[in-house]
A = this chain, B = another copy of it.
Amino acid sequence: MGLAFTPNSAVLASCGTDELVRMWKSADGTALGTLARLPDIPMDLAFSPDGTRLAVASKDDTITLWAVK
């Protein structure tokens, strides 16, 4: 479980016990969509400092890495 803003502050990513990673518009909280379901409960997530990657660590030790559009 956790949350992280993109380096440019425009988007917030969150992950929860529903095993989904969600994206939100920082300006007004609009839901921007959901990334593919994770293999297990996400424990931590982080954007790369350059904002091009999002990584999520799941409870089963799987690491999932996305290229950020």
Give chain A's interface residues, CB within 8 Å of chain B.
1-5, 7-9, 12, 14, 16-18, 22, 24, 26, 29, 43-50, 52-53, 55-57, 59, 61, 63, 65
Q: Closest Cβ of chain B: how far from A35's Cβ, in Å?
A: 15
Q: Closest Cβ of chain B: how far from A42's Cβ, in Å?
A: 10
Which residues of B are found within 8 Å of A2, using beta-carbon distances?
43-44, 57
Closest to A45 in B: B3
Q: Closest Cβ of chain B: how far from A32's Cβ, in Å?
A: 12
Which residues of B are found within 8 Å of A65, using beta-carbon distances?
12, 24, 26, 29
Which residues of B are found within 8 Å of A61, using beta-carbon distances?
1, 16-18
